């Protein structure tokens, strides 16, 4: 189970690493689209876009459906939710650490440590 989740996260993050693929997902967030319509704003060939779509499909981020001669793409957001949940674990960790630091800094009086050092140096045992 853990290995499957790790592989799923790996493929999600790998798919999201490319700006073209992120742009495609952004366009799909507005609704389903044909492959041709998805390719329009990019200055690359249709086969190049198809390759990008295959990466997204393997990561589970989109589903292709055939409607006659037209291939339509649909966003599947579940893998992104899993990635967000994974990141949230680390967010809680860092928020706890930052809260501890903030608490320490609120209690810290500048020069207090310096005064203790000077007092201990001036004392004779």
What pLDDT sits at residue 124? Answer: 56
Phi first, then psi, for residue 84 (nearest 5°) are -65, -40
What pLDDT sits at residue 112? Answer: 63
SS3 72: strand
What pLDDT sits at residue 120? Answer: 55
Per-residue pLDDT of the chain (125 residues; tens, 9 = 90+): 455 578 889 999 999 999 999 999 999 999 999 999 999 999 999 999 999 999 999 999 999 999 889 999 999 999 999 999 888 888 877 887 888 888 888 888 776 655 555 555 555 55
What pLDDT sits at residue 1? Answer: 41
Q: What is the largest CA-CA distance in the chain?
A: 93
What pLDDT sits at residue 10? Answer: 93
List the domains of the chain with CATH numbers.
Answer: 2-78 (1.10.10.10)
Residue 86 to residue 89: CA distance in whole angstroms: 6
């Amino acid at each position: 189970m853990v290995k499957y989740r790790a592989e799923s996260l790996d493929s999600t993050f790998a798919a999201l690493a490319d700006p073209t693929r992120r742009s495609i997902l952004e366009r799909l967030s507005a609704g389903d689209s044909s492959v041709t319509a998805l390719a329009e704003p990019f200055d690359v060939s249709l086969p190049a876009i198809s390759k990008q779509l295959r990466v997204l499909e393997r990561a589970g981020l989109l589903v292709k459906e055939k409607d006659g001669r037209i291939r339509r793409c649909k966003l599947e957001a579940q893998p992104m939710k899993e990635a967000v949940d994974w990141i949230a674990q680390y967010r809680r960790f860092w928020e706890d650490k930052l809260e501890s630091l903030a608490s320490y800094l609120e209690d810290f009086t500048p020069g207090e440590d310096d005064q203790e050092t000077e007092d201990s140096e001036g004392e004779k045992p």
